[in-house]
């Protein structure tokens, strides 16, 4: 049975939503936390909650994962103080819906810098250190949107397809070094994410039966730390839908158009 107690866990996107829920769940289990996000004041709020409720050890490292020089700077600071990082949870990311032909391409580039390139660079730099210790676990928060593409989500879905593909390849490369890679693919999660992804709230209403809480996603994520679990797809209904979509793509397109299309 893998024990999280005293393991050093680095969470990106830790200032709210799934990242915040992960921080509380891991603090309760005795993990030593590194919390990163752009908003330093929100990270401090999460840190104080972890300390007050659970007596946790928490390091706050404000970070924009789209900036490689910032990642390098924070890495240098952390590894000057710590021997190793046991678990990296790449949770930072955001989404936006719009017809692709109307999309401002600078927004496409920025989303990929955060959702994909930042995640890849974080993984590369931390994995290089994990290899030295022949242990570690990288967990990438992707999305069911990386398995089932939906209208008006071409950019977001493609970024999550990329995360899943990257994780699958990285898992095979790092296996020989005793480093685990897991992808978490949640369906819609009721967080501030939807303030930008679905500002009108119409999409969230349409998919209400599938909506998860950040605490549920955090619980499922924490449960796989230290295991060889390849991926986690939640909720179960959407996991089944993704398999159906792969086996019966024409029927799958019909289903997506009539259930998930954000009109």
Q: What is the pLDDT of residue 199?
A: 60
Is the per-residue pLDDT at 169 higher than 90? yes
Lowest mean pLDDT segment, chosen from 1-15, 39-53, 147-161, 243-257: 243-257
Residue 127 located in a structural domain? yes
Average pLDDT, rounded, for the chain: 90
Q: What is the pLDDT of residue 191?
A: 66
Residue 3 located in a structural domain? no
At residue 1 the predicted structure's pLDDT band, cuts being 50, 70 and 90, is low
Mean per-residue pLDDT for 158-186? Answer: 97
Q: What is the pLDDT of residue 101?
A: 95
Residue 1 located in a structural domain? no
Residue 145 located in a structural domain? yes
Is the per-residue pLDDT at 121 higher than 90? yes
Is the per-residue pLDDT at 130 higher than 60? yes
Strand partners, 9: 33, 87
Total Cβ atoms within 10 A of residue 182: 21
CATH no. for residue 116?
A: 3.40.50.720
Residue 42 located in a structural domain? yes
Q: What is the pLDDT of residue 186?
A: 94
pTM for the predicted model, two decimal places = 0.89
CA-to-CA distance for 24 and 33, rounded, in angstroms? 10
Cβ atoms of 34 and 59 closer than 8 Å: yes
How many structural domains comprise the chain? 1
Is the per-residue pLDDT at 30 higher than 90? yes
Q: What is the pLDDT of residue 76?
A: 95
CA-to-CA distance for 214 and 42, rounded, in angstroms? 17
Q: What is the pLDDT of residue 16?
A: 95
Is the per-residue pLDDT at 208 higher than 70? no
Residue 227 located in a structural domain? yes
Cβ atoms of 109 and 61 closer than 8 Å: no
CA-to-CA distance for 10 and 126, rounded, in angstroms? 10
Residue 250 located in a structural domain? yes
Report pLDDT digits (tens) over 40-62: 999 999 999 999 999 999 999 99
Residue 44 located in a structural domain? yes
Mean per-residue pLDDT for 148-155? Answer: 89
Mean per-residue pLDDT for 33-41? Answer: 97
Lowest mean pLDDT segment, chosen from 2-6, 58-62, 204-208: 204-208
Is the per-residue pLDDT at 210 higher than 90? no
- Parent domain of 82: 8-259
- 258-262 contact pairs (CB < 8 A, 24+): 259/206, 259/207, 260/148, 260/150, 260/151, 260/203, 260/206, 260/207, 261/150, 261/151, 261/152, 262/97, 262/150, 262/151, 262/152, 262/153, 262/198, 262/202, 262/203, 262/206
Q: Give the H or E element holding residue 205.
A: helix 202-206
Q: What is the pLDDT of residue 115?
A: 97
For 56, the token pair is 């946790």
Mean per-residue pLDDT for 175-186? Answer: 97
At residue 211 the predicted structure's pLDDT band, cuts being 50, 70 and 90, is confident
Could you list the active site residues? 156
Q: What is the pLDDT of residue 193?
A: 58
């Amino acid at each position: 049975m893998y024990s999280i107690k005293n393991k050093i866990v680095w969470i990106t996107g830790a200032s709210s939503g799934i990242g915040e829920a992960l921080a509380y769940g891991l603090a309760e289990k005795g993990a030593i936390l590194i919390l990163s996000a752009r908003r330093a004041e929100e990270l401090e709020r999460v840190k104080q909650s972890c300390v007050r409720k659970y007596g946790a050890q928490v390091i706050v490292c404000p970070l924009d994962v789209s900036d490689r020089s910032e990642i390098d700077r924070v890495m240098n600071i952390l590894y000057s103080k710590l021997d190793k990082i046991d678990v990296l949870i790449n949770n930072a990311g955001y989404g936006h819906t719009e017809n692709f032909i109307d999309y401002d391409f600078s927004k496409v580039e920025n989303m990929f810098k955060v959702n994909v390139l930042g995640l890849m660079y974080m993984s590369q730099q931390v994995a290089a250190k994990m290899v030295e210790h022949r242990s570690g676990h990288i967990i990438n928060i992707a999305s069911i949107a990386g398995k089932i593409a939906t209208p008006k989500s071409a950019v977001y879905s493609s970024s999550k397809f990329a995360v899943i593909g990257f994780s699958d390849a990285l898992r095979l490369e790092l296996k020989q070094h005793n480093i685990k890679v897991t992808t978490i693919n949640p369906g819609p999660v009721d967080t501030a994410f939807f303030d930008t992804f679905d500002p009108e709230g119409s999409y969230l209403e349409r998919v209400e039966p599938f909506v998860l809480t950040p605490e549920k996603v955090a619980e499922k994520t924490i449960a796989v730390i230290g295991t060889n679990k390849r991926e986690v797809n939640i909720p179960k209904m959407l996991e089944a839908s993704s398999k159906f979509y792969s086996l019966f793509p024409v029927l799958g397109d019909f289903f997506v158009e009539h259930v998930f299309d954000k009109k």
